[in-house]
Every structure is written in structure tokens, then in C-alpha cells.
Structure 1
Amino acid sequence: MRIGFIGLGNMGSGMAANLLAAGHEVTAYNRSPEKAAALVERGATAVTTIADACSGDVVISMLADDPAVESVTFGDGDTAGILTSLPQGAVHVSSSTISVALADRLTAAHAEAGQHFVSAPVFGRPEAAAAAKLFVVAAGDPAVVQDLSPVFDAVGQRTFAIAPGPKTANLVKLSGNFLIASVIESLGEAMALVGKAGVDKQQYLELLTSTLFAAPAYQTYGGLLARREFEPAGFAAHLGLKDVRLLLAAGEQLEVPLPIGSLLRDRFLSLLAGGGRDLDWSALGALAEWEAGGARPAPD
């Protein structure tokens, strides 16, 4: 397929590289153009405008938040966005973690323009993106999602087609990130407890992940916590706060109380207030150790 890719950050660069490796024709756009250099060496075409990335069958956006996605989609004039540049019948795939409300807006806007919109956020850290081991959560017109199978297969190990309404994928993604953050917080509290009693954290983690909690989230984030490996960030703490806020907004709209979500929002605020904005979001779990008299999550 001819694919435009917008957003070459920690996740997008690996995804775009795997699309190239699978034989797709990739046109790459990034606000900082130097990030496209490695992809050009692999055969991608770098462009300097969003419009130039929208001439193919599909354009994929992988961006940090709602404002970034809104900017690249709804721009006009000299900074024409996806909506005004994508041909009729082509597809905008958003792999960004965005709000349910924005997914609704994008669905309606693309339909009015005669285009298709598919939400396809992913689960996995940058190393999984580089290894094509992501899990793709896709929602949109079933026929369009099916046609996109070669794209999703190139970047992930499994695709879950959730529903015909794109916003459902975004809600599922936010719920998953909420569960990960809950794991990080509870692991941090448990490690602070046993660590203060003199138990080796790495040994404790091995016990947990070899018995009751043999799951990737516990293995990955428990390891980062035990090693206090918060830099460089695979997923920054301020983005974790963003996702919890989006989760709470969705809960309010659906009238679903999320008391643990409210707690996590406050815990992320504490982390950011203490200088941890750009640390990996696993540093959330180190708050408990700090509050128990240990080291601060953020470096002095």
C-alpha cells in the first residue's frame, strides 16, 4: 500500500520502519524533519508538509495528544491538514491515544469529506514497536478494517477488531492504560513496604512474576521500578496523566464512577509537581518509596 505516516516519535519511528520492511511504500512527515533521516535510508520518502503525506491510500497519525491530532487533521490554508488533503475514499488511521470525544469528531468530519476514519491505538512500548510486536486495537467500518489487515500485520503481533464505531477503540485503549497505571501504583506501594523491611526488590519481583503475577505488565514495570530505570522515558509521566484525565472524562460522560482513576490522577500530579514530568510513567510507583523516607523519583 501507499502509506503516509505522520509522527515519528518513540512509537511512530518503529512502526513506520516495519511498514517499510513489509514492502509498503511509506511517505513520512514529522514536525522535526531530521527524525525522518533513518527512514529515508530504509527507502521512505520524507516530505515537508502534511498534505504531501496524504496522497496515498492510507495516512497514519501517531501523535502525543488531542491538540496534536487536531492540528494535523483540521489545518487549512498554508498548513493544510489531513481532512482537506486526503483523497475521497482514502483512510485516516489514528494510532494515537486520544479522547473519545475527538474520535467522534474525527469520524463525523471524515465521513462528511467522503473519507474513512479508523481508530487503531496500540498496546506496547517503543521496543515492541521496533520489533513489530504491538497489539493493535482497531475500530471502524469492518470492511475498511479488514482491508487494513496488511498494515496492522506489519506493525503488530495481533489485531483486535473491536467495533464498527471508531471511538470504542479509544475507550478500550484508555481503559487498558488505566489498568497499567493501577499496576504501577500498586506495585510501587508493595515494593516500598517490603523494601523498607529489607527485602531485595529484584528478588521480590522474581517471586511475584514467577507465581501470582506472571504477566507482561508486572514483569516490565516491576523491573523498571526495581532498577529505578525511569530515563529515558518510553512513555512520559505527563502523557500518563493525560490518559487518566481522558479516562475520567469518558467515565463522566458515561456516568461511570472511577474512584481509582481519580486517585491515579492525583498521584500523577504529585509526580509532576516533584519534577517527574519527563520521567517514564513507571516512576509513578516510586512515589510510595519516597513518601516512606526513600529516594525521590525525580533526580535532584
Structure 2
Amino acid sequence: MRIGILGTGNMADALGTQWIRAGHQVMFGGRSPDRARALGRRAGGAAGTLADAVAFGPVILLALPFDAVAGVLTELGARDGTLGDRLLIDCTNAVGPGFVLTTAGGPGAARTIADVTGARVVKAFNHLPDAVWRLTPPAFADGPVAVPLCGDDEEALTTVATLVRDLGCVPLTAGGLDRAAYLEATTAFLIGLWHSGHDPRTLLPPVEAATA
């Protein structure tokens, strides 16, 4: 699979490197050619501009700070259909100081990105930090990590589920793109707990008890 990655930060590095190891062709695109080339050399992938990454393949990973997304999409000419035929994986988190959503009171991040680009957006990989995605595989005592997927396009969901399995994880279809806002809010809540030193798993009973 050919995957263009928008961004050269930690999430781009972690996911891109794992997909290259799984046999996919990856191009890292960034505003800094030097950073993109350095990441490409380190991960074993190609490197180019943001526009190069979009043109590289039918699957795009949006791995940028959310506050940079609007500017990048404008730069790419998102409204002229440049991204309209792409599968766009959104792993961004619109989380500001105090671990609150900066999109509160409006559409969620994934819905906003879908509306602006017309792309087939799937929200995925945003619920955990890059350190987890660097594990080979991302698995703990309870088994492989589950990755929630939210999207409206069945073919896109199937493709992203394949990329999840290629990491050694388990895809968990969690509903349409309207559910992505709940995943984004849950992630903000989890980030706050982790930074406070709490283990969110202690909040949850076994599924049998929760559904009894």
C-alpha cells in the first residue's frame, strides 16, 4: 500500500516506521525538507513536501498538531478537491491546556477535516501516544491494543483495519464519523488521567459485569 504522511513529528515517525516494516511504501511530507529527508532516511521511506505526500498514494495519514491543520489544508488547496479522492486517516487531538478540547461547542476535529477536504476520513490512532505505537507489537498483559475506528466509508474502514492489523493491533469499528467526537473527548479525558498519575483501567469492570 502507498501511504503519504503529512507531518514529520512523533506520530508520523512511529506509525510510518511500523508500516514500512510491514512492507508498505511510505512518503513523509513536511514543510521542512531537511526534517522530512532525515525521517525518511531513518525510517527507510521516501521524503518530500506536503503536496508530494498527498500525491504519493491513495492513503494519507494526517499527523500534525491540530492547530496547524487548518493552515496546512489551506496550503494544499483542500477546497479545490485535492484531497477529495483520498482516504485520510486523522490521528490528531484537539487538546489544549487543562486537557480540554479546543473544538468544544463546534464540530469535532475529524468532522471538521472531512467537511473541509471532502476526503473519506477515518479517525484512528489518536487515543494513544507515539511510544505505544513504537512497540513491536503494541501489546500488554491483556493482549494486543485495540484501535477504535470511526468513519462513514466502509471501504476506508476496511483499509484502515488492515493497517491496524499490520501493527499487531486489533481494529475496533466504533461507528460513523459522528462518533469520532466521542472518541476525541474520551482521549482528552484519558490524557488528563494519565498526566495525573491515574490508571484509567481501574475505572472499568470486566465486560460481563458491565452488561449484566
The answer to whether the superposition gives a TM-score over 0.5 is yes
What secondary structure is seen at the aligned counterpart in 2 of 1:63? coil
- What one-letter code is carried by the residue in structure 1 that aligns with 2:45? A
What secondary structure is seen at the aligned counterpart in 2 of 1:96? coil
Q: Which residue of 1 aligns with 2:111?
A: 104
Q: Which residue of 1 aligns with 2:60?
A: 59
Pick one of 94, 104, 107 that aligns with 2:90. 94
Q: Kindly provide the CA deviation profile for residues 49-93 of structure 1, in whole angstroms up to 9, marking residues without a partner as x.
A: 21111121111111122x211122222xxxx34554746532111
Pick one of 155, 163, 173 that aligns with 2:184. 173
Assess, with a 3 A threshold, how the Cα gap between structure 1 residues 158 and 216 changes in structure 2: closer, same or farther.
Answer: farther
**Is this contact kept in 1: 2:27–2:40, CA < 8 A?**
no
2:30 is aligned with 1:30: yes
Assess, with a 3 A threshold, how the Cα gap between structure 1 residues 72 and 178 changes in structure 2: closer, same or farther.
Answer: same
How many aligned residue pairs are there? 182
- What one-letter code is carried by the residue in structure 2 that aligns with 1:143? E
- What one-letter code is carried by the residue in structure 2 that aligns with 1:7? G
Question: Structure 1 residue 157: deviation in Å?
Answer: 1.7
Assess, with a 3 A threshold, how the Cα gap between structure 1 residues 101 and 24 changes in structure 2: closer, same or farther.
Answer: same
Higher strand share: 2
Between the aligned residues of both structures, percent identity stands at: 23
In 1, Cα distance between the equivalents of 2:71 and 2:168? 27
Question: Structure 1 residue 5: deviation in Å?
Answer: 0.5
What secondary structure is seen at the aligned counterpart in 1 of 2:122? strand
In 1, Cα distance between the equivalents of 2:69 and 2:133? 20
Q: Which residue of 1 aligns with 2:127?
A: 123
Question: Structure 1 residue 29: deviation in Å?
Answer: 1.1
2:149 is aligned with 1:153: no
Assess, with a 3 A threshold, how the Cα gap between structure 1 residues 3 and 81 changes in structure 2: closer, same or farther.
Answer: farther
In 2, Cα distance between the equivalents of 1:109 and 1:168? 18
Question: Structure 1 residue 35: deviation in Å?
Answer: 3.3
Q: How much is the aligned-residue C-alpha RMSD, in angstroms?
A: 2.9
Assess, with a 3 A threshold, how the Cα gap between structure 1 residues 93 and 183 changes in structure 2: closer, same or farther.
Answer: closer
Point out the structure with max Rg over C-alpha: 1
**Is this contact kept in 2: 1:6–1:28, CA < 8 A?**
yes
What secondary structure is seen at the aligned counterpart in 2 of 1:122? coil
What secondary structure is seen at the aligned counterpart in 2 of 1:123? coil
**Is this contact kept in 2: 1:8–1:30, CA < 8 A?**
yes
Which one scores higher on RCO, CA 8 angstroms, separation ≥ 6? 2
In the TM superposition, 1:5-16 aligns within 5 A as 5-16=5-16
TM-score (norm. length: structure 1): 0.52
- What one-letter code is carried by the residue in structure 2 that aligns with 1:110? T
What secondary structure is seen at the aligned counterpart in 1 of 2:8? coil
**Runs of at least 5 residues in structure 2 that lack an aligned partner in the other structure:** 95-102, 139-144, 204-212
**Is this contact kept in 1: 2:148–2:173, CA < 8 A?**
yes
**Is this contact kept in 2: 1:122–1:135, CA < 8 A?**
no
**Is this contact kept in 2: 1:97–1:170, CA < 8 A?**
no
Question: Structure 1 residue 44: deviation in Å?
Answer: 0.9
Assess, with a 3 A threshold, how the Cα gap between structure 1 residues 84 and 93 changes in structure 2: closer, same or farther.
Answer: farther
Q: Which residue of 2 aligns with 1:164?
A: 176
What secondary structure is seen at the aligned counterpart in 2 of 1:8? coil
TM-score (norm. length: structure 2): 0.71
In 1, Cα distance between the equivalents of 2:190 and 2:200? 16
Question: Structure 1 residue 148: deviation in Å?
Answer: 2.3
In 2, Cα distance between the equivalents of 1:42 and 1:181? 31
In 2, Cα distance between the equivalents of 1:30 and 1:135? 29
**Runs of at least 5 residues in structure 1 that lack an aligned partner in the other structure:** 188-212, 218-300
Assess, with a 3 A threshold, how the Cα gap between structure 1 residues 92 and 64 changes in structure 2: closer, same or farther.
Answer: same
- What one-letter code is carried by the residue in structure 2 that aligns with 1:157? C
In 2, Cα distance between the equivalents of 1:139 and 1:35? 31
Q: Which residue of 1 aligns with 2:98?
A: none
